[in-house]
Structure 1
C-alpha cells in the first residue's frame, strides 16, 4: 500500500501562486484528517502538525447608501459600445437592484428561472443553493416593480420562448444565460461611472459586496427601528441562507464596527428588513 510520507504531505501543503494563509491551513487540515484515518486503519503514516489558524483578514467593502444610489444611477446610464447579441447589458439595472433588495448571492440571481420569480406573490424561490438548501425570498413592492419593468423590456426581444418556465429569468440579448464574467465587466464600468474606485487584488469593491451591504444596511435599519440586533439575528440568518448563526454574526460585528451606535440594547422584533429600492430612472 502507499504510505503517506512527510515529503508527500509537505508537497501537498506547498503554497501555490496567490494562495492565502487560510487556503494553506485548509490543505494541511485535509491531509491531517486523511493521515489520522489511515493511522486508525493500522497504516503507517506521517501525521502533519496543524499550523496556527490564520483567521480571515479580508474585510468586505460596504457601500454607503449614497454609493448604492450612485450605482443604480450608473447602471441606468449604461450603453453598448458595439453590437453584441451576447451582451448582458439589459439585466444590469434589475440585477443590481435584485442583489441589494434581497441579499441573494450573484450565482443565485443568475441561476433564477422564470418559474422561480413570482411577481404576483412578490417572492423568489431559490433551489439547491450554496448550502444545499431551498428557500423563499420575499421582495419589496419597489423591487417587484423593478422586476416587472425588466420583464416588459425583456419580452420585447426578438427571441422565441423567453417565457418558458425553465428558461432563465435574466438573459443576454439573444436570450441566453448571462455568466458572471460578463456581468463583472459591466459592473466595473458601473463603478467607474459612479465614481467608486476599484482597488482590485481581492480588495474590491466586488459584486458580492452588495450582499454584504444588504446585511449591514438591514441591521442598520433594524437598529433605527429600535430593535435588538440579536433578536433579529436568527431571522436574517435564515433569510440569507446561512448554514449557521456564526456566519451571520460576522455581519453583526462588521456593522457594529462601521456604526458603533448600533451596540445599544433595544427590545422588540421588526421583520420588515428589506431596504426600499430606488426605481429605475
Structure 2
C-alpha cells in the first residue's frame, strides 16, 4: 500500500473508534462499521463501491458493464504475483500461499484472477532468456 492510503486508513480507523465510543458499542471486529457501530455487510460494501464507481464514470448507471468491486481483488492478486516475481521468488511455489491469501480452497479458484500483464510477460521472457543462455553455456 502507498503511504497516502495508509494515512487514509489511519484516519478512518480513528473515526471508526470514535463512532464505537459515541454509540457505546462493543467492537464488531470488522474493519468497516456503519455509523451505528454495527459491522458493514459485504452487500452494503459492494453497493457503496458500485456507487463510487458510477460516480467516477467507471461504471454505467445500470447493468453489469464496467468495473466491478471484485476487480480490486484481481488487481491485488496480479500485483502481489508481479512483486514476488520481481523479487526473484519462485512464483509457482508461492501460488498455494496466494490462493490462501485470497481465501480460495484451491489453485483453480485463484487462476481466474491471474492475468498476464506486460510486466509479468517481460519478467517471464527475461527469466526464460536467462535459462536458455545458461543451458547453452559449455559445461
> 1:242 matched to which residue of 2?
104
| Contact 1:168–1:177 (8 Å) recurs in 2 | yes
Aligned-CA RMSD value: 3.4
Give the match's secondary structure for 2:72. helix
Residues 226 and 168 (structure 1), Cα distance of their counterparts in 2 relative to 1, 3 Å cut: closer
CA contact (8 A) 1:212 1:251 kept: yes
User: 1:199 touches 1:205 (CA, 8 Å); kept in 2?
Assistant: no
CA contact (8 A) 2:50 2:59 kept: no
- Greater C-alpha Rg: 1
Could you tell me whether the CA contact under 8 Å between 2:50 and 2:69 is conserved in 1?
no
In the alignment, is the contact (CA less than 8 A) between 2:95 and 2:107 conserved in 1? yes
Partner SS, residue 155 of structure 1: helix
Counterpart Cα distance in 1 of 2:38 and 2:28 = 12
Q: Comparing both structures, which one devotes a greater share of its residues to helix?
A: 2
Q: 1:156 aligns to what SS in structure 2? A: helix
- Give the TM-score, by structure 1 length: 0.36
Structure 1: gaps spanning 5 or more residues: 1-100, 102-139, 268-281
Task: Give a deviation string over 1:69-89, Cα, whole Å, max 9, x none.
Answer: xxxxxxxxxxxxxxxxxxxxx
Q: CA deviation at 1:214?
A: 0.6
Aligned partner of 1:191 in structure 2 is 53
Residue 160 of structure 1: how far off its partner (Å): 0.7
8 A contact 1:222–1:229 mirrored in 2 = yes
- Larger RCO (CA within 8 A; separation ≥ 6): 1
| Correspondent of 1:159 among 8, 20, 23 | 23
Aligned to 1:263: 124
CA distance in 2, matches of 1:238, 1:219: 13
Structure 1 residue ranges, 4+ long, deviating more than 4 angstroms after superposition: 140-147, 165-168
Counterpart in 1 of 2:136? none
Where do residues 209-248 of structure 1 align in structure 2 (5 Å cutoff)?
A: 209-248=71-110
Separation of aligned partners in 2, 1:188 and 1:195 = 11
SS at match of 2:113: helix
Closer/same/farther in 2, CA of residues 203 and 230 from structure 1, 3 Å limit: farther
Q: How many residues align?
A: 124
